[in-house]
Amino acid sequence: MGDRVGDMEDYCMVEAAMEVVGGKWKLAILRHLFDGTCRFGELNRAMPAITPRMLTRQLRELEADGLVRRVVYPEVPPKVEYSLTYLGESLRPIALRLEEWGHWYRERRGLGGEPVTPRS
Amino acid sequence: MGDRVGDMEDYCMVEAAMEVVGGKWKLAILRHLFDGTCRFGELNRAMPAITPRMLTRQLRELEADGLVRRVVYPEVPPKVEYSLTYLGESLRPIALRLEEWGHWYRERRGLGGEPVTPRS
DNA sequence: CGGTATCCCCGGCGATACTG
DNA sequence: CAGTATCGCCGGGGATACCG
């Protein structure tokens, strides 16, 4: 061992990051949480294209990966607040730069794709 | 501009970026091309886990998205060189920061996952 | 309000064999 | 050397209905 171990360590890290952040809605969710704590419904209203099911799933994964904190208020009607952990916050600069890049990229490429999948 | 009109434009851009760069091997490939032009076989040897088929597919997508340049030398035996376009180069700082982040993340989280799916 | 349950589709991804 | 061809899995993601 040791001959070419360094190779995979390197690119593996970027893939490790992608596993955490590569879900279809993950970065979109984080992006909203950058602006502050959100309730479930707020997030869902802010991203109408995502179904509650998927929003839940992605939030739970983000929580399991330690990027998002979920706080349940035991009251009625139910209230749940999502916020970023320190780990989640640490992604802010990168996400923002990626966002910039995406913007710049689409300008250069002439807005190739649809912004949001249109529903029938 | 209005308070939050830009919302979906914004996060859409990060998703746009993910569409281009979100493939399982995309960033890994780019990461290798950051170090300079590569031939097909070099890339494949550098990433033994990826099959030729997938390597081809992801390279073609990167090419279609304008991140990678493919140069064919009409000689025998065949020789094809892959390099980054200006667009591809522009991802370097972001990819590097994501890599840093991935490294840091895994240290904090105690190396949760396997680096590469081990073949038996 | 903040989710689950259920069902299903599609395409990303993989393995193996073959070719100009 | 640099790919195709073929086949198939599997799970991420979606639609809709329902629940505490």
State yes or no: pLDDT of B3 exceeds 70. no
Q: Give the phi and the psi of residue A83 in degrees, each rounded to 5.
A: -145, 170
Residue A110: what pLDDT?
78
Best mutation target, A1, A4, A14, A91, to test chain B (most B CBs within 10 A): A14
For residues A71 and A80, the answer to whether their CB atoms sit within 8 Å is yes
- What is the dihedral sign for C-alpha B73, B55, B118, B105? positive
Residue A118: what pLDDT?
38
Domains and CATH numbers, chain A: 2-110 (1.10.10.10)
Minimal Cα distance from B28: which residue of A?
Answer: A11
Minimal Cα distance from A28: which residue of B?
Answer: B11
Measured CA B91 to C1' C11 distance, in angstroms: 26
Tokens 């879900």 sit on residue: A23
Residues 6+ apart with CB under 8 A from A34: A84, A92, A95, A96
Tokens 């970027």 sit on residue: A14
Alpha helices in chain A (DSSP H): 5-21, 26-33, 40-46, 52-64, 86-89, 92-109
* Strand C atom within 7 Å of B78 CB: yes
Alpha carbons A19 and B16: distance in angstroms, whole number: 17
pLDDT tens digits, residue range B15-69?
A: 899 999 999 999 999 999 999 999 999 999 999 999 999 999 999 999 999 999 9
Tokens 């998927």 sit on residue: A54
Helix then strand then coil, in percent of chain B rounded to 5, is 55, 10, 35
DSSP code of residue B64? H
Q: Give the phi and the psi of residue B27 in degrees, each rounded to 5.
A: -70, -35
Residue A25: what pLDDT?
94
Identify which of A7, A102, A115 has the shortest CB distance to residue B17: A102
pLDDT range class, residue B11, cuts 50, 70, 90? low
Least confident of B9-13, B26-30, B91-95: B9-13
pLDDT tens digits, residue range B66-88?
A: 999 999 999 999 999 999 999 99
Partners of residue A98 in chain B, C-beta under 8 Å: 14, 17-18, 94
Identify which of A19, A46, A98 has the shortest CB distance to residue B14: A98
Range B109-119 average pLDDT: 55
Closest CA of chain B from A82, distance in Å: 18
Query: Does A11 contact B32 at a Cβ distance shorter than 8 Å?
Result: yes
Alpha carbons A74 and B42: distance in angstroms, whole number: 57
The mean pLDDT values, 10 residues at a time, for chain A of 120 residues are 47 87 94 97 95 97 97 96 98 95 91 46
Residue B88: what pLDDT?
97
Q: Which nucleotide is nearest to A82 (CA to C1')?
A: C2
Query: Does B11 contact A27 at a Cβ distance shorter than 8 Å?
Result: yes
Residue B10: what pLDDT?
56
Q: Give the phi and the psi of residue A14 in degrees, each rounded to 5.
A: -70, -30
Residue A1: what pLDDT?
43
Give CA torsion, residues A88, A92, A97, A103, to 10 deg.
90
Residue A9: what pLDDT?
54
State yes or no: pLDDT of B117 exceeds 80. no
Query: Does B90 contact A101 at a Cβ distance shorter than 8 Å?
Result: yes
Measured CA A39 to C1' D8 distance, in angstroms: 42
